[in-house]
């Protein structure tokens, strides 16, 4: 079975119940909105507010949409797997979802300097961390891309788990 029919089967299986359909819709709306206001934070000095929408570029909006769409598929799949008594591997989902936010939050906000200052109090010789904020600001598009790739990987893992789930009884939906 190749990946397209597997994805279709996993999606049909997941969303055959209205409850999981609603979980997917709610996940998409909430995550998409959060991404829309958080991803442009690097342009607003780390401030997170509705005013960030005016700094939203097409690229950031596309990342927000695709990442929210992937999460709106992954989250219900994981809930459905849990309900079927299966274990899920949600670490990739968490890493991908948070990774998309961290670049914008750490780049230009007070968070990273505060962390560096706290570490410097404990370990005064740790100076290499001061360049982290500049690195994140410089490489934010790559951080978003890696986060997106991790989410795609998490989606494929979720699809594989649903398709291989012994108690799920997946039907072919070609």
Q: What is the tens place of the pLDDT at every residue in 116-154? A: 455 545 554 544 545 555 555 566 777 777 777 888 888
Structural domain contains residue 135: yes
Local confidence band at 111 (pLDDT 50, 70, 90 cut-offs)? very low
Residue 172 within a domain: no
Q: What is the 3-state secondary structure (H, E, C) of 55-110?
A: HCCHHHHHHHHHHHHHHHHHHHHHHHHHHCCCCCCCHHHHHHHHHHHHHHHHHHCC
Has this prediction a pTM greater than 0.85?
no
Q: 100 lies in which domain range?
A: 3-164
Structure tokens at 149: 């790739």
pLDDT at 103: 52
Domain count, the chain: 1
| Residue 101 covered by a domain | yes
Does a structural domain hold residue 170? Answer: no
Whether 79 shows a pLDDT value over 90: the answer reads no
């Amino acid at each position: 079975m190749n990946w397209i029919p597997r994805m279709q089967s996993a999606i049909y299986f997941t969303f055959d119940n209205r409850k999981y359909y609603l979980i997917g819709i709610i996940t998409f709306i909430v995550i998409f909105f959060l991404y829309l206001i958080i991803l442009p934070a690097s342009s607003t000095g780390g401030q997170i507010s509705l005013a960030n929408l005016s700094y939203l570029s097409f690229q950031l909006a596309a990342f927000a949409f695709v990442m929210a769409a992937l999460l709106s598929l992954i989250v219900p799949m994981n809930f459905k797997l849990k309900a079927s008594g299966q274990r899920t591997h949600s670490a990739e989902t968490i890493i991908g979802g948070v990774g998309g936010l961290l670049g914008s939050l750490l780049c230009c906000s007070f968070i990273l300097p505060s962390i560096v200052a706290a570490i410097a109090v404990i370990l005064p010789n740790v100076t290499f961390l001061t360049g982290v904020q500049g690195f994140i600001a410089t490489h934010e598009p790559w951080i978003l891309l890696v986060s997106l790739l991790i989410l795609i990987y998490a989606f494929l893992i979720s699809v594989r788990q649903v398709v291989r789930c012994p108690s799920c009884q997946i039907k072919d939906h070609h």
